[in-house]
Amino acid sequence: MNKTIVLQKRPFGPLKADNFKILDDRTPKLEAGKLLLRSMFFSVDPYMRNRMNAIRSYVDPFKVGEPIEGDAIAEVMDSDHPDFRPGDRVTGSFPWKEMMCIDPARATKINDTGISPTAYLGILGLTGLTAYFGLTDVGKIRPGEQVVISGAAGAVGSVAGQIARIMGCQVTGIAGSEQKIQYITDELKFDRAINYKSFPNIRKALAKTNPDGIDIYFDNVGGDVSDSVMYFLNPHARIVLCGQIALYNQSRISTGPRLNAQLIVKRARMEGFIVHDYKDRYPEAIEDLKKWIMQNELSYRETIIEGFSNLPSALMGLFKGENIGKMIVGVA
């Protein structure tokens, strides 16, 4: 038996348990030239919600009746490829299955033994890389700038804020619980923080935290939080559009104030990006990120939920803000 989670039906509005179905699939066998893998950890990420819709964005939608797929760490159980041996650990985008037989081209071997393999789903994986390229390449961050991060205690936000600090910037984090605020200020050393749930007038809060305005806004959330930031942009500010998690679960297009005139007055730039476009430059980024971890400049936390069957609830939990740092499901 081989537990598998498929998209049972497409969501309309918030994700619900019945969008998913757990099946007992056949136990796979090693095929010629392939790898037999046993899943260890799955990453759940906000963008996966969008793949559950029927619309193609930058990746194809999941198909109804087919397994959900996401970044994962797995162990090689058997191999018919010379580069992989049983016991090797690999990372890649894999289906939500306990075991699977896959093409070796889809797996990258983790050779690093100095860091937990789950780091390759977060700080050294796509979320860390997203924070890195978003700030440096899209945001063109410069020392001494005023940086605001929304979703600041999340997987990407927590890394982005620390990179901004390492780059010599003043960092304000916006997050949704006292525990998260404490985390980003005490442990991650953000300069200032706003709990948007206990202080819903974010404009007033920002007026206090950011008397010198905002040069870079790293946006993970969209919606009201992001609208408020628009009033504090400095000339030539950059808005790095990374995610809009506040909007992904909505069944209708959300409406809000039209604030593009702020971008004109401030000669500001708002730009979306997708980390996959930086594939060629991942090694340089991973080198920097590892260096900062070794120097204790960059710390990270993971929210690990145990149990393959908890994958759907872990994904749903992202949209309720249940995670601090990277949300991961342990399935070994």
Considering the rule CB under 8 A, would residue 254 count as an interface residue with a second copy?
yes
Considering the rule CB under 8 A, would residue 19 count as an interface residue with a second copy?
no
Stretch that binds a second copy, among 81-89, 188-196, 262-270, 294-302 (CB under 8 A): 262-270
Stretch that binds a second copy, among 69-77, 161-169, 216-224, 316-324 (CB under 8 A): 216-224
Report, in Å, the least distance between residue 140 CB and a second copy.
Answer: 12
Contact 238, 216 (CB under 8 A): yes
Report, in Å, the least distance between residue 253 CB and a second copy.
Answer: 4
Considering the rule CB under 8 A, would residue 269 count as an interface residue with a second copy?
yes
Please give the size of the binding site for a second copy, defined by CB under 8 A: 35
Report, in Å, the least distance between residue 226 CB and a second copy.
Answer: 8
**What residues have CB less than 8 Å from 88, skipping those under 6 apart?**
75, 76, 79, 109, 110
Neighbours of 296 (CB within 10 A): 7
The rounded distance, in Å, linking the Cα atoms of 174 and 228 is 11
Q: Tell me which residues in 221-250 interact with a second copy (CB under 8 A).
A: 222-223, 226, 241-244, 247-248
Stretch that binds a second copy, among 87-95, 121-129, 263-271, 290-298 (CB under 8 A): 263-271
The tokens for 224 are 């009201």
Stretch that binds a second copy, among 32-40, 70-78, 202-210, 266-274 (CB under 8 A): 266-274
The rounded distance, in Å, linking the Cα atoms of 207 and 144 is 19
Three-state SS annotation for 37-98: EEEEEEECCCHHHHHCCCCCCCCCCCCECCECEEEEEEEEEEECCCCCCCCCEEEEEEECEC
| Residue 21 or 231 with smaller CB distance to a second copy | 231
C-alpha separations of 297 from 224, 240, 291 in Å: 31, 23, 9
Binding site for a second copy (CB under 8 A): 57-58, 219, 222-223, 226, 241-244, 247-248, 253-274, 277
